[in-house]
A and B are shown apart, each in its own frame.
Chain A
Amino acid sequence: MPTIGNAPRQDPWPWRLRALLIFGFVIAAVVGWASVSYFHRDPATVESFTPVDGWCDAPTQGLGVHCFGDFGFPRTLLGEPDTWGVGHDGHAPNPYTALGMVPHLVTKVLADTDLGVRGSLLIYLLVLAAALLAPALWIIMGTARTWRTRDWLPLLLIGVASGPFLMTMDRGNSIGFAVPFLLLFCLFLRDEPGWVAPAAVIAAASIRPQFVLLALGLVAVRRWRAALYAAIGTVALNALAFAVWPGGLVGNIRGWLSDLNAFQSTTDVASDNPINISAAHAVSSVGAWLSHGPGVIGSFGEGIQSFVHDHVAVPGLILIAVVAVVAVVFRGRIAPAVIIVSVLALPALAQGVAYGYGLIFALVLASLILGQARPAILRPGGHRSAALFAGNDESGGMVAWKWTTLCVLALSLVPFIVSTDLASQSAVKEQLGLAWLIVVVFGLVVGVRYAKRGDLA
């Protein structure tokens, strides 16, 4: 029987993810209509942020009432004497590195031409959309037999209709530019040419420094040298950018660290609004649940909450350490699926505050599970290779982990417009950080078990 994409009997996981996503979107369509039409919920507020974000003169520079705040905010800092170290006295801190400011610098230059702010915004959004759609386009290129038989469904499911796409575009957040590099990193993690994966890490980390953690994936597949190059390249490039930025290397880095620290405090780690998908928030949520328990359990929960509140970076650091130890000790023996899921989720989980657009890694992960063939431009001859979850390791633990990952992935991608009150964000996404933390830890446990079994064999 001819099929589009993956034949269910060869690899059932792409079909399962598709089914979960379509089912999710069907539910989301009904829930979204009722929620918006009958209960006055605001999709932008629930999924992203309030539309009236106030970072520009909306009538002349924005679209309607909207300013695409994360596009507008960095622009306000360009040309100011202090790009960093401004996160005091009620000012918004600037968590971006000098390299991370480059897209905004480019749009500023464009805005100073005849294009104006709106023209530069349009170009910025188009490039951002293209970057966010890269995983979906990769699947479409990879699974098609010819142009006439393209399967366009991924463009909807892990593209335009997905929660991470909507939020990143709504905010105009430049984190979306990292998506193609995350995809390249995963595709070339164990593949030739060897320079692509470390280069992708450097490129992604240039946009957001936390993506340097992807280098742990290179360690896990025994590519020590590539990991080292990635780390050194990231540090060197960022340092260079800080050095050439007005203000000098030391002053700029000091200001950036100060702002980074201030940024972590902009949101209470215990709060569900705005959505925080960090491990710190996940642990704090667990503490909050336990605190309702009796006696010692309640006190323990309160203790966890209090500790995380005072040491917001610690849960993320512990998680990094655990992943690093597993990557080093079991290098070359961990299932590739576990490595990729862990290192993709790690940059978002490891931060103290990680807003909803941190879920962009879900777009890449979904494409790796759905996609079957390499695109011809990456591998001349259109060599076909298996999708991420294909394989013979289909016994209990691994299957359970794959199902868990699929469910959490679907919840991350489908925009359920459901909130407890008008000002709140998505009730479904509030605990996604915890869900991803469970996926990563569960994956590491299963991966280690399989690695040990391989040792015994």
Chain B
Amino acid sequence: MNSHLPPTDAPWGRRLLTLLFIGLLVALPVGWVSSQYLGNQVSSTLSYNVQDGWCEAGVYAGVGPGPHCFGDYSQSALIAEHDFQIGTRDFTQQRPYLSNPGDAYNSLYPPISQLPHVASDLLRLGGVSPSGSFYLYVAFLLAAVLIPGIWVAWCWRGTAVALAPLLVIGLAALPAIVAVDRGNSAGFVVPFLMVFAVFLGREPKLMAPAAVVGAAFVRPQFILIALGLVAIGRIRHALGAVGVFAAATIASFALMPAGFGPSLQSWVGNVTAFRGGFGDLTFSTPANISVARALVSTGSWVANWPGPIGRLGQHMAEFVFNHPLVPSVVLFLIAAVVLFLGRRTLPRSVAITVPLVIAATFSAVVPAYYLTFALVIAACILGPRFVRGPAGGMLDEQVPSDTPWFWGWPLIIVTMLSIAPLPFVRDTDPASPVQRNAIVLEQIGKLWLALVVLALVWIAVRTWRRRHEHSQA
């Protein structure tokens, strides 16, 4: 069957496309007025301070005349240089350098996650200019975050809107902009997430588990998308993916110049001590889309209410503040149980969305560039469900569609809000050293958390009813 049917033939795809257009239509004039007439720095509002303070690091200096130095690239390149002992830089004299040069291993991520930066460092030290290695890195990063847009555009080839996805879920999409603006290697996870979503439950069967391992190599928390394999009843594939990832990750520490033991020990210390670069979970900016931040923020808001509700909110905020990973772990466990019980009967949209959101928002501090998972969800809603499958995205895959309104509409609205660069901004937060982010960006973590809870409640009720009907029959 011809796969590239126009989105107008798939209701949910058409709705999302319309919402994405509306998002851009609103974003453009609001951004113009906000930046040109009201003096707000829209680019900082949507991402991070343009003047990010990493130009003196010597990794990127001299490449461009502007004040922007793609801070995450510069920082990670230095860490990779330190951890892999590439070059002869004296890190005790290196400024800026936020980590402890005396430690065996400074990265938050395992060695295999540092691969892009090791490659760019080797290129730089191998004779390629700093700008050359950077542009090569950023070109690959850009290609990675554009994969969902390219894929949908390819699926829509021959239609009048064929190139539109390159704009609405591509270069004009907020997550893509932020990932490239920061130069953060988290963007490299997108192609793996895309393969995972497209091949989940499809032939060849090993593609989805391989994509899980690939995504986890980029950022370890994405091993949690193995939940998707559980949701379609491929428990062995899920366990296999976890096993391969764990073995490869641990083994990769053996390759470190500082040795297996010290590197692994230092890495575990880095991970457990991490609370984000700007203080704690009470900060609104830089935007933190984590489960922990959503609960602290909600708890702090409820704490203003009178009586026991207020006290409950306060306790919740304090508990999550002190144990930021507990809510994520609890949510993961509940999701694992619900998806396991409902396996093989779940709508594809739930089997893809819930694991992606749980994995992306798992850590205590989750910057906005992790919203790249929303690009994958958008591509799955807009595009055909499979490269050579019937038309319609993941919400339209059955005719008549069994996607209920209470799941379909919130999903496409939250997806749109995550992707459209809506630059509405509040007054600057005096407690924060950086420009305040857009309102939507600051609140989007709560919306994704609410969406996952909604999906789990829906699936739990649905599964219970089916089992009840089955037992009665």
Which chain A residues have a beta carbon within 8 Å of chain B's beta carbons? 1-6, 8, 14-15, 18-19, 22-23, 25-26, 29-30, 33, 36-40, 42-44, 51, 62-66, 148-153, 155-156, 159-161, 166, 169-170
Contact = CB atoms under 8 A, between A and B. Distances in A.
B6 A37 contact: no
A36 B28 contact: no
A46 to B, nearest CB: 11
A127 B177 CA distance: 33
B21 A4 contact: no
A152 B23 CA distance: 12
B71 to A, nearest CB: 12
22 contacts: A2-B9, A4-B159, A4-B161, A5-B160, A18-B163, A22-B163, A22-B166, A26-B172, A29-B172, A36-B35, A36-B43, A37-B50, A43-B35, A63-B33, A64-B33, A148-B14, A151-B8, A152-B18, A153-B164, A155-B25, A160-B25, A166-B32
Given A2-B5, A19-B163, A22-B164, A63 B37 contact: yes
B158 A8 contact: yes
A354 B6 CA distance: 41
B65 interface: yes
Contact of A51 (B8, B37, B159, B162): B37
B170 interface: yes
Contacts of A37: 43-44, 50, 66, 68, 181
Nearest to A14: B160
Contact of B162 (A19, A26, A159, A161): A19
Given A42-B36, A63-B37, A166-B32, A18 B160 contact: yes
Contacts of A15: 160
B400 interface: no
Interface residues of B, number: 43
Contact of B160 (A25, A30, A64, A151): A151
B24 interface: yes
Contacts of A1: 2, 5, 158
Contacts of A66: 36-37
Contacts of A40: 66
Interface string B7-19: 0110000100010
A150 B14 CA distance: 9
A279 B65 CA distance: 36
A64 B8 contact: no
A15 B157 CA distance: 11
Contacts of A169: 29
Given A19-B162, A40-B66, A156-B25, 7 more contacts: A1-B158, A23-B163, A37-B68, A39-B66, A64-B37, A155-B25, A161-B28
A156 B162 contact: no
A13 to B, nearest CB: 12
Nearest to B24: A156
A88 to B, nearest CB: 32
Contacts of A42: 36
A44 B43 CA distance: 15
B37 A26 contact: no
Contacts of A18: 160-161, 163
A310 B67 CA distance: 44
Contacts of B159: 3-4
A257 B2 CA distance: 64
Nearest to A58: B37
B277 interface: no
Contact of B167 (A6, A26, A63, A160): A26
Contacts of A148: 14
Contacts of A62: 37
Nearest to B40: A64
Contacts of A33: 43, 177, 181
Given A4-B8, A38-B67, A26 B160 contact: no
B258 interface: no
Nearest to B142: A30
A418 to B, nearest CB: 14
Interface in B127-170: 158-164, 166-167, 170
B39 interface: yes
Contacts of B166: 22, 26
Contacts of B8: 2, 4, 149, 151
B9 A26 contact: no
B399 to A, nearest CB: 16
A26 B168 CA distance: 9
Nearest to A50: B36
A232 to B, nearest CB: 41
A38 B66 contact: yes
Nearest to B165: A22
B64 interface: yes
Contacts of A155: 21, 25
Contacts of B42: 36
A65 B35 CA distance: 11
Contacts of A26: 163, 166-167, 170-172
B296 to A, nearest CB: 30
B116 to A, nearest CB: 20
A437 B264 CA distance: 68
B330 interface: no
A43 B298 CA distance: 37
Interface in B166-202: 166-167, 170-172, 177, 181
A3 B24 contact: no
A132 to B, nearest CB: 12
Contact of B21 (A5, A64, A153): A153
